[in-house]
Amino acid sequence: LEITDGMLDDAMVTVLAMGVYGNSTLESLDLSRNPSVTERGWRSLFATLQRPNCRLGKLFLKENLINSAAEFTLAKSLATNGTLKVLDLSYCRDSGEIALY
């Protein structure tokens, strides 16, 4: 599933996260270049990765603004997620200050 280039905001990502949680067949998700998504949206998506029925294998988040609080939620999720094999955070920034590669 590809939803890129500014098509999402926090509310949409929260709804999408609920869909990812309930979907056992979605293997790849590309949410690159969605600058309107803030910490709230990213945290809801990253929390979904902790769920045992999340089967997502690839997550592309290139060129987004992801702050350290959301990154912490992502790190916690990755510690318990056994299915995510590809995570692309290239050119992500924390409030325009830090690039993650």
What pLDDT shows up at residue 97?
A: 46
- How distant is the alpha carbon of residue 54 from its chain centre? 13
Q: How far apart are CA 15 and CA 86, in angstroms?
A: 22
What pLDDT shows up at residue 46?
A: 96
Q: Band of the pLDDT at 100, cuts 50, 70, 90?
A: very low
Instruction: Provide the whole-model pTM.
Output: 0.87
What pLDDT shows up at residue 28?
A: 95
pLDDT in tens, 4-53: 999 999 999 999 999 988 788 899 999 999 999 999 999 999 999 998 88
